[in-house]
Chains A and B, each alone.
Chain A
Amino acid sequence: MPGPTRSLPSTPASDPAVRALRLTAAQFGTLAAGYGDPTAVAVLRDGQLAKRRLLLRALADTAGAAGTAALDLLSAADRRAPEAVRTVLAQPHLDAAAAARLRRGSPDDLLCRYAAAGAARAGLRFTIRVPTDAGHLHLPALGTAVGVGPGPATVRGTDAGVTVTGSTGTVSVPAPFDTGTPDWWPLRRLAVEASGQRLTIAVDDVDPERDCYQWPPAGRLDDGGLADLAALLGDAWRLIVADHPRHAEAMRCLLWSVVPLSPAAGNVSAASRRAGGSIALATPPDAAGLALLMLHEFQHMKLNALLDLVDLHSAGGPARHRAPWRIDPRPVGALLQGTYAHLAVADFWRRHRHRAAGPAAHLEYAYWLAQSRQSAATLAASGELTGPGATFVAGLAETLDGWHATEKVPSGVGQAVADLSVAAAVSWHLRNLRPTGTAVDALVAQWVAGDRHPDLPAAHWGPVPPAGPAPVSGIESTIRDHVLNEHSGPPGADDWSRRLATDPDDVEAWIGLAVALRPVDPVAVRGLTTRPDLVRALLAHPDTGPAGPPGLAAWIGAGLPG
């Protein structure tokens, strides 16, 4: 099996005719602020197209005879109709497919498929053999010939269309390949418009390479499913254009397709570094939900495209950072992704709260704003950002800080968010940190000696919790119910201390204690939100005497920078 055989040069491009894509400081600044002006997004788009051409070039080095012939055909199509080939190579899942072929060193099937699609779209007269997938033949950017049979199929093209002849069937498709039949499933496109802003997006439910997300893709949508998605997309697009015109403008440039996910996945969405231009989602129940998913995933898409051009952080760092939306510790790259995406989540609620009745949308806005600001601070202090990365994080923090300074929420909501932030921090640290026995003994010795400002041990990591979203504690639910439904709030500190006296491992009680102390004892709360693992260990130790949890928390807090 052929594979990459030569090491690639490390020197920069030396031909003066070949120049690097450039991002001006102003363009970079608009991306860092959370949006990206049209010229900046155009650079991202060109970067994705360049990346796919480079992948094609890398594949050429490993191609066999069939793959080499396919590249000749694709080059001929490019000479005849460059825009047609540009469209074919803009397919988001080419990236994932090409990377997979590079790894295994056998790219001919993919090259033949893309050559056939490019030649067909260019209107060339050609014949090429293309491997099928489960008896179907997919032509990127065009559609899928259904049921032509296993084994290679022969694709014959003219300027009138193509004929696909497989082992058990023949499918003829007239140009421009967009009329569906039982044997030909075209790549369908939806066009929606609001206030003169038109978004055209492919619904990719046909490309076999689209299975590159965390959840499985849905099968081909029937006409009713497509109509439902079209209606929802139209309503979501109106919301996005009205409330987020800068995001809308960027989406029109960079968003190419949507991949329906299996409904069994729930109300979820995904984006992949290897599928720039595509977002995958299970169709949510309403337009606001779709707009939120689109905004969130589009942030990942922009950041992925930027990371293909510029290193914003060091590679390979440990997963040691708290992302407030996750229970497991995250590496700096994942934290950056989440922070950038949640900036858009906060932005969505920032505007949507003026459409929605009641305090729930205010709470969502204030909560995600607070968590995003916390994460931006974590990133800035990580020591793992490059120079451009530090500038980028400063830019997004400036946007978040600006909203915090100018966009007020009802006072009850602000208090609830402060409580929820405390609860999330205590929960995460208790689930991730475990001090060593030696460290606890040394700490107890300081306590017994009466040291007022303990010298605290460095964080020691316990077993990593299963990856996933941060769990919502009972306390957090109570806090939300209190502000949203005027239910009674959580119990006071004494109740939680009594629970902890009988079970120092009661995470819910530690969360409740921290929330109860928040208005009255900031030093203890500092101890509980930063090193609750130490407070818990002290409480469980027989030599710490009758000091209750608040006293121990305040002592640990005194050892932390204020």
Chain B
Amino acid sequence: MEDHRQDIDTDVIQLADLPLHLLLTMEDTVLGHSLRRVAEEAMAGAGSDAVSAFNSSI
């Protein structure tokens, strides 16, 4: 198993401040893997919608 102590370019692109009209008119190829990852994960169904639960002991 490789060790991994380097910067990580994540699978999601920086869109938090992108104007919405630009996002909606972008080509899929620009959004690339990010859009695919988010859409596929959402389409995967309830099985991927992990819910945690906790019963406190106090």
Contact = CB atoms under 8 A, between A and B. Distances in A.
Interface of A: 4, 6, 8-15, 18-25, 28-29, 43, 45-47, 49-51, 53-58, 60, 71, 74-75, 78-79, 82, 85-86, 96, 98-99, 102-103, 212-215, 266-274, 284, 286, 288-289, 292-293, 296-297, 300, 304, 308-311, 333-334, 337-338, 341, 364, 383, 385-388, 390-391, 469
Interface of B: 1-21, 23-24, 26, 28-36, 38-40, 42-43, 45, 48-58
B38 to A, nearest CB: 4
Contacts of B48: 273
A79 B58 CA distance: 49
B10 A21 contact: yes
Contacts, number: 223
9 contacts: A19-B13, A51-B12, A99-B42, A102-B42, A103-B43, A266-B55, A273-B50, A387-B4, A388-B8
A272 B49 contact: yes
A286 B12 CA distance: 39
Nearest to B4: A387
Contacts of B55: 266-268, 469
A270 B12 contact: no
Contact of B14 (A14, A20, A469): A20
A284 B56 contact: yes
B20 A53 contact: yes
B28 A269 contact: no
Contacts of B29: 9, 11, 14
Contacts of B51: 212-214, 270-273
A84 to B, nearest CB: 12
Interface centre among B1, B3, B39, B54 (most CB of A within 10 A): B54
Contact of A50 (B1, B32, B34): B34
A160 B3 CA distance: 57
A43 B40 CA distance: 22
Contacts of B39: 4, 8, 54-55, 58, 102
B33 to A, nearest CB: 5
Contact of A79 (B11, B21, B33, B35): B21
A21 B14 contact: yes
Nearest to B57: A364
A269 B54 contact: yes
A298 B15 CA distance: 24
Given A9-B29, A103-B42, A71 B12 contact: no
A36 to B, nearest CB: 14
Contacts of A45: 16
User: Nearest 10 A-B pairs (CB), nearest first?
Assistant: A387-B4, A309-B10, A99-B42, A49-B16, A8-B36, A50-B15, A78-B20, A13-B32, A75-B21, A387-B2
B55 to A, nearest CB: 6
A98 B42 contact: yes
Contacts of B40: 8
Given A50-B12, A103-B43, A391-B3, 6 more contacts: A8-B36, A12-B33, A50-B34, A78-B21, A99-B43, A270-B51
B30 A18 contact: yes
Contact of A55 (B13, B19, B38): B38
Contacts of A337: 50, 52
B1 A390 contact: yes
A304 to B, nearest CB: 7
Contacts of A334: 50
B9 A268 contact: no
Given A289-B58, A333-B50, A9 B19 contact: no
B32 A293 contact: no
A304 B16 contact: no
A393 B23 CA distance: 35
Nearest to B58: A289
Contacts of A213: 51, 53
Contact of B7 (A4, A22, A212): A22
A484 to B, nearest CB: 13
B32 A9 contact: yes
Contacts of B10: 20-23, 43, 47, 309-310
